[in-house]
Structure 1
Amino acid sequence: MKKRRLAAWLMVLCLCAAALGGCGAKEEDKKADTAKEEQAKKDDKAKSQTPIKVGALKGPTAMGMAQMLDDNQYEFTISVSPDEIVPMIVQGQVDIAAVPANLAAVLYQKTQKQVNVLAVNTLGILYLVENGNSIQSVEDLKGKTIYASGKGATPEYALNSVLTAHGIDPLSDVTIEYKSEHAEVVAALAADPTAVGLLPQPFVTTAVMKNDQLRVALDLNELWESGTEDGSRLVTGVAVIRKGFLEEHPKEVKAFMDAYRKSVDFVNEDTQAAAEIIGNHDIIAKEVAVKAIPECSIVFVEGKEMKTMLSGYLNTLLGQNPETVGGAVPDDDFYYAR
């Protein structure tokens, strides 16, 4: 009888030990799961705190981001030439970049569709300027010499398209002479008072401030819109994003877009404060920025409206020279819509 009781007690003790062991194991599992959750939270927090790397060009594209430049959520690289930004996008050194519209299409093709366009950020910033007051309409350009920079790029194709749409043959009705730099265009205008120059903002403002004989005669953006019926616009710049970054950080990208739209509104509504920031970041001089902002067509257009205006513009470039858009107009996947 005693042996049976002893055996029973031993069995109870074994069961208790097993239960305690099981509880211990479960407790260890819980601790491990908690540790994993805490680490995941830390990783997510670290990701959200990592600044988004943004590239922009000196001029209207960077000017539109003025309110964001001192925000530690973003790490900006301001470049002089698009050639400096292209390798940064391809190599993943920047996540988002403001680039010329046609270059965005080229990047889409060359990266095997690993780039998306988020928004149009700059419309037409090209203007025809002259000494005097002789040019009042496109028809007045006939027989004139037009000095321009940007041969083989957007300025050339935009000018040709606008002239053709208004019944002027770029090859026979006008003489177009291309210079390598904007400063050479201004110098040519000084040497030939009867000529016309094609210049972008904010360089137009800088030139007019230095020479009060110069004046803006025609706005290429207005001429483009009056010569087309497809809803396209003369799109100068867009914001693009690496597709991989977009897929990994959708919330951060949406927050960036909200901040960008807010910044564009700020720049257009409070030019004085915006010019102060723009000058501090050596994008352009403050006194130039104050006068140039209203003429720089800084916008934030996304979604369907972006697609309509940009696709029409790219189709026009395709018709003149397919290489300017990478050989083909991007498909629907190019356009991001939230």
Structure 2
Amino acid sequence: MKKKYLFLFNLIIIFSIVTSCGTKEVKRPETIEFCFRDGIPALTVAKLMKEDPIIAENITINYGMQKSPDLLVSKILKEEADIAIVPSNLAAQAFNKGLSYKLIGTSTWGTIYLASTEDIESFEELKDKEIYAFGKGLTPDLVLRFVLSQNGINPDEDVKLTYLNSASEVGPAFISGKTNIALLAEPLATNIMMKKDDAKIIFDLNKEWSNITGTDKGYPQASLIIKSDLIEDNIKFVEKFIDLYEKSIEWANENPEELGDYAEELELGVEKKVIMQGIERINIGSFPIKDSKKEYEIYYDSILDFAPDYIGGKIPDEEIYFEK
């Protein structure tokens, strides 16, 4: 009798082993929402969008290009984006609000310039001049005010800052001659240089920021962020994605002509001729966060002095950063 029970017991064990070995774990299909603005941020994603590589089995990336900053901000504040390219101040804001995003690296460095039809070689020569600007209270305005003040120019007393509603309004005003000095952002700056023969860049504000702060790269204008849950639950996917995104940035810098083709085909909001003419001013590259923490700390510290609410009231601690 005991032998009979022992035989049945062994049979059950063997059956269990056989059936478990023959059963594969079925992974549910998952869609990762990757959100970013059109224009320069989209250029850093162009290679990924065009080639759409399979990074992990059963995972699909939805490339959600947003046409306005408000739509992008909404995606972040509602935590609808799993991965996103955002203004670096928004990365700090999200972290300080307790939202589950980590800062991975820099997508683009500063792309804001002062242009003029006049031969201006020093900041002192800007005194009593009118400057058409945009983005009041936002990154362009904060960077302009910081650079002016650090060069001995009181932005509220020594110059007249005339703010228009958007960067796209400043360009036509400058071209038409309403102002001789304008704050321009890429890719609009290159577009205007190509249309207005007597226009010239008088100050690269990213370089000026770098000179003032002693940083190598300037200020981090836009950053890649990823949800903490995605990092914790699917680290292999995240690491492979980061590698491919970094290669996409490198490729964009090294292949402006092909990048222009991709941009026009994918309707990324930048013309091929502008990319080819202005690739250096577009200022993408130098991605890894491990090489740029000093730049972020100085950037956030500078903003804290000017507009603390812009980064959520405090400088984010080390927990904001993720290094693969």
Determine if contact 2:252/2:259 at 8 Å carries over to the other structure: yes
1:164 aligned residue: 149
Moved more, 187-196 or 260-269: 187-196
Q: Quick check: 14-23 or 235-244, which moved more?
A: 14-23
Partner of 1:199: 184
Where is the helix percentage greater, Structure 1 or Structure 2? 1
Output the CA distance in 2 between the equivalents of 1:178 and 1:33. Answer: 68
Match of residue 18 from structure 2: 31
Of residues 166, 170, 190 in structure 2, which corresponds to 1:181? 166
What are the residue-to-residue correspondences of 1:1-338 with 2, within 5 Å?
Answer: 14-35=1-22, 38-39=24-25, 42-43=26-27, 50=30, 52-70=32-50, 71-73=52-54, 74-110=61-97, 112-131=98-117, 133-192=118-177, 195-229=180-214, 233-283=218-268, 284-338=270-324
**1:29 is matched by which residue type in structure 2?**
S
SS at match of 1:176: strand
Residue by residue over 1:120-174, the C-alpha shift from the partner in whole angstroms, topping out at 9 and shown as x without a partner, is 111110011112x422232221221111110010111100100111111111211
- Write the distance in 2 (CA, Å) between the matches of 1:256 and 1:105: 22
Q: CA deviation at 1:65?
A: 1.6
AA in 2 matched with 1:114: S
- Matched letter for residue 267 of structure 2: D
1:332–1:277 CA distance, 2 compared to 1 (3 A): same
- Summarize the Cα distance change of 1:90–1:321 in structure 2 as closer, same or farther, 3 Å threshold: closer
Q: 254-263 or 189-198: which moved more?
A: 189-198
* 1:26, distance to aligned residue in structure 2 (A): 0.6
Find the aligned partners of 2:16 and 2:286 in 1 and give their Cα distance: 51
Q: TM-score, normalised by structure 1?
A: 0.87
Bigger Rg, which one: 1
Measure the CA separation in 1 of the matches of 2:214 and 2:99.
29
Asked if structure 2 preserves the Cα contact closer than 8 Å seen for 1:233 and 1:310, the reply is: no
Q: Show structure 1 runs of 4+ deviating over 6 A.
A: none
Q: Deviations over 1:288-312 (max 9, x none)?
A: 2222322111014223322111111
Secondary structure, counterpart of 2:232 in structure 1:
helix
2:57 corresponds to which residue?
Answer: none
Q: Measure, in 1, the Cα distance between the counterparts of 2:183 and 2:222.
A: 18
2: distance between equivalents of 1:198 and 1:115? Answer: 32
> For the structure 1 residues 160 and 303, does the alpha-carbon distance in structure 2 shift closer, same or farther, using more than 3 Å as the test?
same
Task: Count how many residue pairs are aligned between Structure 1 and Structure 2.
Answer: 316
Deviations 1:230-266 (A, max 9, x none): 6672221000111111111111111111111111111
Other structure's SS at 1:158 match: helix
For the 8 Å contact 1:61–1:98, the answer to whether it is kept is yes
What CA RMSD, in Å, does the superposition of the two structures yield over aligned residues? 2.0
CA distance in 2, matches of 1:35, 1:254: 31
Confirm or deny: 8 A CA contact 1:189 1:195 kept in the other structure.
yes
Letter in 2 for 1:33: S
User: Deviation digits for residues 82-125 of structure 1, max 9, x if unmatched?
Assistant: 32123323444321100111111111122x14111000111110
Cα distance in 1, alignment partners of residues 190 and 230 from structure 2: 37
Between the two proteins, what is the percent identity of the paired residues? Answer: 28
Assess if the C-alpha contact under 8 Å between 2:35 and 2:66 holds in 1: yes
Do 1:134 and 1:140's aligned partners in 2 also have CA atoms closer than 8 Å? no
Gaps of 5+ in 2: 55-60
One-letter amino acid matched to 2:174 = L
- Measured after TM superposition, the shift of residue 188 of structure 1 is 2.8
State the distance in 1 between where 2:179 and 2:103 align: 41
